[in-house]
Amino acid sequence: MINYDEHVKRRSEFTLKRLRAGWRRLPRRRPRDPEEEQVLLKMALERKRRWLETGKLEILGPREYRLR
């Protein structure tokens, strides 16, 4: 099982290194498999839940958000 908190910490470190190096990601050439898509969706929903709990994300209306 993946420790989500550890993953978030490692991902932010990687992102900072990537930005400092000026590296840009290319678009995918093949579609994602269904299992990978489910994992990514779970991660995105967990991130949204965490941001709502901490106040980083506010829902202002049905289609309006504020990200701090």
> How many domains does the chain divide into?
1
List, for residues 20-50, the tens digit of each pLDDT value: 887 777 777 888 899 999 999 999 999 999 9
Could you tell me which of 47, 50, 48, 67 has the C-alpha nearest to residue 58?
67
- Return d(Cα 59, Cα 10) in angstroms, integer: 28
| Residue 45: inside a domain | yes
CA 49 centroid distance within chain: 12
Rounded to two decimals, the pTM is 0.57
- Return d(Cα 53, Cα 57) in angstroms, integer: 8
15: its two tokens: 């992102």
- Tokens 């969706």 correspond to 41
The confidence score (pLDDT) of residue 23 equals: 75
Full domain range(s) for residue 57: 34-68
The confidence score (pLDDT) of residue 21 equals: 83
| Residue 21: inside a domain | no
| Residue 1: inside a domain | no
| Segment 6-20 mean pLDDT | 81
